[in-house]
Structure formats: structure tokens, C-alpha cells
Amino acid sequence: MIKYFILAFALTAVLVVGIFGVRGQKFSRPPLELFPDMDRQDKLLSQAPDRFFANGMGSRRPVDGSLPHATADGVFPLEFSTGMDGYYYTGAIDDYFGNGLPLEDLGLDAGSMPAFLRRGAERYDVSCTPCHGSSGNGKGITSYYGLAAIANLHDPRFGRDQYPDGRMYHVIANGQGLMSGYGATLPVRDRWAIVAYVRAMQAAKAAADSAGEPEPSASN
Ligand code: HEC
């Protein structure tokens, strides 16, 4: 009995090696192609000629206004802060999140503050409104499509005395829990502008509340 088993085993082994074991040889003829496997497709190859473009080159210049992913020496641009230290870049002072805008680094004074806040409002609208809502109440459009537990930025937990500016900066840059970070698309200065704008929204809401105004309607 065991004899037949060994025989069958040996045959199977030979068969398996015979079928799958051919590796690494070079064939001069193109392989048999049952399915094209997307081997041939219309695509651009950099540094290769291409008949599609008038100048005959496959390499294209980046679109005007493209942001470099890294400078020529491989360093991520400064305004996205990777690897940088200090309050302006991290929101932290030693082991703690700091409070207050880094006015000097931002080059801000009373005269330039309104424009800075307007910038913050505009960037907030682009990057945060879809989830947190234009008023910051956490009821942005994505909340109607199943993204649950979006933070209500008017919750006292996120007020300035409990939640320092540096921490909000850090969350914008790196994300927190379910929220991913926006450091790759928001330069340092814009992150601070958003922090400033969120603070202004919080203050406006608190002032309206204490003046006894009715709640804003549920739609953001
Ligand atoms: C894709 C949806 C989405 C976007 C866009 C978004 N957030 Fe969030 N955010 C969330 C969710 C969800 C949470 C709750 C995260 C958790 O607790 O897991 C959250 C939490 C937060 C928190 C509280 C974090 C904590 O410590 O609990 C802050 C502050 C915040 N977001 C600010 C912002 C700001 C400012 C922007 C714009 C730059 C922004 N978010 C963009 C979804 C989003």
C-alpha cells in the first residue's frame, strides 16, 4: 500500500515541478497570451517618445500652480512643516500644547488680523465645512451620509480654556481618531488661520447664546 502511495507522491511531485517549476528561462518568442492583462495600454511613459503630443515627448511639465511634493534635495517644503520644531510648526511648547497664535511667526498685527481671519474662513469652508458644517456644529453634508460622531466644535470641550490653540493646530495637521490630518494640503499658516477662525466662531456662538438668541437651525 505504502509503495503505491510513495509512487503516486513521486509522480505528483514530478508533475507539479514540471508544470510550475519552469522559472527564469528566457524565451525569444512572445509568450502565449490568453488574456491581454493590460500589457498594452494608452498611457504616458516619462522620458519616452509619445505621438499624442505635438512636441512628441511623453514627459509633461506640471500644470501651472502645482505644489512640489518635495524640493530637489528631497526635503518637504517648509510650509508643510514636516520635521520642524517649535510652536509655530507643531503647536506644542515642550511637552504641552500652547495657547495663542504665534503672532510673530505669522507676521500678524491688528491691521492684518481681519484679512487673516477671512483667509481662515475661506480655508475652513474648503477643508472643514463638509464634515463640521459651516457653523462648526458637526452637521456638515457628510453627516447626512453616514459619517458619525463628527465633533461639534461648539462643545465646551473644544473651547479655548480646555482645548488649547496648539492642540487644534495639531489636530488639523495630523488628524485625531476618525478624522484624518490635513497637513499635506494645508500649509502651516493656513492651519493657524483656521484655528483663529474657529475661535471667532466659538466666541460668536457663545455671545449669541448669552444674548439669548435662538439656536441656529439644524441644517448647518
Ligand atoms: C472628513 C470629515 C472631516 C473633516 C474634513 C474635518 N474633520 Fe474634524 N473631525 C471629524 C471627525 C469624525 C471627528 C471626531 C474624531 C474622533 O473623535 O474620532 C473630528 C474631530 C475634530 C476635532 C476634535 C478632535 C479631538 O481632540 O477630539 C477638531 C478640533 C476638529 N475635528 C477640527 C477640524 C478642522 C479645523 C477641520 C478642517 C481643517 C476638520 N476638523 C476637518 C471629521 C472631519
Over 80: is that where the pLDDT of 141 sits?
yes
* 17 domain-assigned: no
Residue range of the domain that includes 87: 81-210
Looking at per-residue pLDDT, the higher value among 21 and 217 belongs to: 21
Express each pLDDT in 154-208 by its tens digit.
999 999 999 999 999 999 999 999 999 998 889 899 999 999 999 999 999 999 9
Using N-to-C axis directions, what is the helix angle for 188-210 and 113-127, rounded to 10°? 90
Using 50, 70 and 90 to split pLDDT, how confident is the model at 218? Answer: low
Q: Assign 22 a pLDDT band (cuts: 50, 70, 90).
A: low
Q: pLDDT tens across 74-120, in order?
A: 666 656 766 788 999 999 999 999 999 999 999 999 999 999 999 99
Question: The C-alpha cell of 28 is what?
Answer: 525569444
Percent of the chain with pLDDT over 70: 87
CA of 181 to the centre of ligand 1 (A): 9
Distance of alpha carbon 164 from alpha carbon 41, whole angstroms: 53
Q: What is the pLDDT of residues 34-65, one digit of tens each?
A: 887 787 888 888 889 998 889 999 888 888 88
Residue 65 lies in a domain: no
CB-CB contact of 117 with 106 (8 Å) = no
Give the closest residue to 188 by CA, choosing from 65, 97, 87. Answer: 87
Residue 99 in contact with ligand 1 by CB distance below 6 A: no
Tell me whether residue 189 is in a domain: yes
Predicted TM-score (pTM) of this structure? 0.72
Helix (H) / strand (E) element for 172: namely helix 165-174
Task: Enumerate residues 6+ apart whose C-beta is below 8 A from 80.
Answer: 183, 184, 187, 188
Residue at 26 is within a domain: no
Q: Over 60: is that where the pLDDT of 67 sits?
A: yes
Q: What element of type H or E holds 113?
A: helix 113-127
How many helices and strands (H and E) does the chain possess? 7, 4
Which of 131, 142, 160, 172 best tests ligand 1's pocket when mutated (most atoms within 8 Å of CB)?
131
What is the number of alpha carbons within 13 Å of residue 176 lying toward its C-beta?
A: 10
> Domain total for the chain?
1
Q: Is residue 101 part of a domain?
A: yes
136 falls within a domain: yes
DSSP result, 60-100: -PPPTTPPPSS-TTSPPPGGG-TT--SHHHHSEETTEE--S
User: Which of 190, 183, 172 has its CA nearest to residue 120?
Assistant: 190
145 vs 26: which has the higher pLDDT: 145
Is there a domain that residue 193 lies in? yes
Q: What is the CATH number of the domain that holds 199?
A: 1.10.760.10
Atom of ligand 1 minimally distant from the CA of 129: 5
Is 35 domain-assigned?
A: no
